[in-house]
Amino acid sequence: MKRKLICGLLLAVLAAQSSCTIVDGGVIGYLTGRTPETEENAPEEPVYSEPVRGRLIADLSWANANAPDFHVSNETELVSAAYWLNTQNDDSGAAVITLEDDIDLSGILWEPIGSGDAAFIGEINGAGHTISGLTIEGETGNCGLVGTAHSLYVHDISVRDAAVTGNSCTGIVCGECYTSKTWHDIYVSGQIHTGAGSDYGAIGGRTPNVKFRDCESDVTVNDEEFPYFTWQQYREDNNTHEEDFTLTLRDDGYIERTEGEPHHNLQWVVLRNGERVFGRGCDDEYSMYPHEYELVGSDPGIYSIYLESFYSGNYLRCSNIVEYELVPEYWAAYGNDYPLYTDTPYCIGFNKDKPDVIECLSQPDGTDEPDKLYWVVLADGEEAVRKETGGENSVRFSRLISDTDMAEGRSVYHIFLAGEENGKLFRVSDVLEQILNYTDTSGLIQNSDDS
């Protein structure tokens, strides 16, 4: 009797506070803000006065059954994947979220994937689909579709009509991440509101090492256009420290720097093919030979060296950039007719997981792109393949050379990207080298360790 009385009082209180009669779904209507359906104001579809927190609609049983390789087709599955990653991923292992359809998050208050000890590790593959209506409200930092990530690869996704409110480290795709991966084929649009004075961007907030390819944004920050993917891009575009020091490449391969005013955390930075491979403090060091360090090595590629220092919460370049190329062993014998044509080259490499795949790792801004771009293969110094890329960023080496007349025995192959002008090729990338043995009787192509 007492239990029934308490329940009756609870229903009465809820009914009084919501100023409505408890009808079908009345208590739920009160909790979610759903307008009660009466004859006078029956909506055609359910109406919610405020967004519902994502975790309230998460389906943990679905998430447990599909983790960690989530294929999501609707808002409930996407929210469920995010909830699992934030609360159930005890081993912090890598996960993949793949969109199988366009997803509308309107009416849902998104809780970013990854925070603190539960930082996200993995991949978001949009598969060409769109997330619309992403809504984040709050005064906390690390806001975005992903809040905090240790390692994150994002590609082939649109996030449209986002409304993100946050503090430091706020972006529509990711708040904070230090991965050095290349994110590509991303489009974002919407509004960001933040009280922070730094570390916000259209795609990423604090994502200093991420590179971008074929990405676009149409985003305002605090109601003003912000045409930068990340805060780092903004700082670099407005950098007033690039002439604080001057670097010089000596004939012996050492990099030498000038003296200057003391800087906070001044350090050398070395990039190989656009990827950061080395950093070293140099407050009292005025010259450096990059290739004496194991992390740098002497692999063929395009090397970029500069100084950076810490200014107002961010590292910024504070010198000119010294660039040079280390070519493969046999390039000097075969490649004299193909000098590097540009100061802003493409960087190419073999995919670590798919060694037959050659991919473009980074590329210059559109102003430096040739009208036509070709994959070129030299066989023992002679042009064997010239194939237009067709806008594709990768190609299988075996397919490139499949139609060539291969001489039996050992051959040295060099692969690079080239532009064309008046029928003449000019090289616009670094060079890859493959030494192969071909046996005419077996038709097998094998890498040769014999150099």
Domain residue limits, the chain: 1-49, 52-237, 247-325, 333-447
234 with 203: CB under 8 angstroms?
no
Average the pLDDT over each of 186-200, 204-218, 417-431 and give the range with the smallest value: 417-431
Do 247-325 and 333-447 fold alike per CATH?
yes
* Residue 275 parent element (H or E): strand 275-281
Is the pLDDT at 43 greater than 70? The verdict is no
- What CA–CA distances, in Å, run from 232 to 62, 169, 277? 38, 11, 18
Is the pLDDT at 318 greater than 90? The verdict is yes
Report the pLDDT value the prediction gives residue 442, as an integer from 0 to 100: 46
Task: Please identify which residue in the block is written with the tokens 């473009």.
Answer: 360
> What is 247-325's CATH number, 2.60.40, 3.90.930, 2.10.25, 3.30.70?
2.60.40
Report the pLDDT value the prediction gives residue 46, as an integer from 0 to 100: 52
Mean pLDDT of 358-375: 75
Average pLDDT, the chain: 83
Report the pLDDT value the prediction gives residue 439, as an integer from 0 to 100: 67
Structure tokens at 223: 């109601």
Q: Which of 216, 94, 193, 68 is nearest to 149 (CA)?
A: 94
The number of CA neighbours under 13 Å toward the Cβ of 337 is 10
Checking DSSP bridges between strand 394-396 and strand 409-421, what pairing results, if any? unpaired
Q: Which of 206, 308, 235 is nearest to 266 (CA)?
A: 308
Report the pLDDT value the prediction gives residue 235, as an integer from 0 to 100: 83
Is the pLDDT at 228 greater than 90? The verdict is yes
Rg for the chain, CA atoms, rounded: 28
261-279 burial, b at 16+ Cβ within 10 Å, e below that, comes to: eebeebbbbbbbbbbebbe
Is the pLDDT at 11 greater than 70? The verdict is no
The conformation of residue 29, written as its DSSP 8-state character, comes to H
Report the pLDDT value the prediction gives residue 421, as an integer from 0 to 100: 75
Is the pLDDT at 23 greater than 70? The verdict is no
Q: Which of 130, 203, 183 is nearest to 160 (CA)?
A: 130
Report the pLDDT value the prediction gives residue 92, as an integer from 0 to 100: 64
Report the pLDDT value the prediction gives residue 352, as an integer from 0 to 100: 82
Report the pLDDT value the prediction gives residue 31, as an integer from 0 to 100: 35
Structure tokens at 388: 């237009």
Q: What amino acid occupies position 364?
A: P
Of residues 40 and 409, the one with the higher pLDDT is 409
Report the pLDDT value the prediction gives residue 44, as an integer from 0 to 100: 57
Enumerate the β-bridge partners of residue 43: none
How many other CB atoms are found less than 10 A from the CB of residue 353? 6
> What is 333-447's CATH number, 3.40.1130, 3.90.380, 2.60.40, 1.20.1260?
2.60.40
Enumerate the β-bridge partners of residue 343: none
Q: How far apart are CA 172 and CA 193, in angstroms?
A: 11
306 with 269: CB under 8 angstroms?
yes
Q: State whether residue 8 is helix, strand or coil.
A: helix
Is the pLDDT at 20 greater than 80? The verdict is no
- Note the pLDDT tens digit of each residue in 141-161: 899 999 999 889 999 999 999
Mean pLDDT of 207-232: 92
Is the pLDDT at 39 greater than 60? The verdict is no
421 Cβ contact partners less than 8 Å away, ≥ 6 residues apart: 370
71 Cβ contact partners less than 8 Å away, ≥ 6 residues apart: 98, 100
- Percent pLDDT > 70 in the chain is 84
Mean pLDDT of 241-250: 94
15: confidence class by pLDDT, cuts 50, 70, 90: very low
Mean pLDDT of 237-261: 92
Mean pLDDT of 83-109: 90
Structure tokens at 92: 């912090």
Q: State whether residue 332 is helix, strand or coil.
A: helix
Checking DSSP bridges between strand 103-104 and strand 394-396, what pairing results, if any? unpaired
Q: How far apart are CA 388 and CA 378, in angstroms?
A: 15
Q: How far apart are CA 83 and CA 444, in angstroms?
A: 50
Q: Which of 46, 170, 44 is nearest to 106 (CA)?
A: 46
Is the pLDDT at 401 greater than 60? The verdict is yes
Report the pLDDT value the prediction gives residue 175, as an integer from 0 to 100: 95
Q: State whether residue 284 is helix, strand or coil.
A: coil
Question: For the purposes of burial, counting CB atoms within 10 Å of the CB of 308, is it exposed (0-12), middle (13-18) or buried (19 or more)?
Answer: buried
Report the pLDDT value the prediction gives residue 232, as an integer from 0 to 100: 85
- Percent pLDDT > 90 in the chain is 48
273: confidence class by pLDDT, cuts 50, 70, 90: confident
Of residues 202 and 16, the one with the higher pLDDT is 202
State if pTM tops 0.95: no
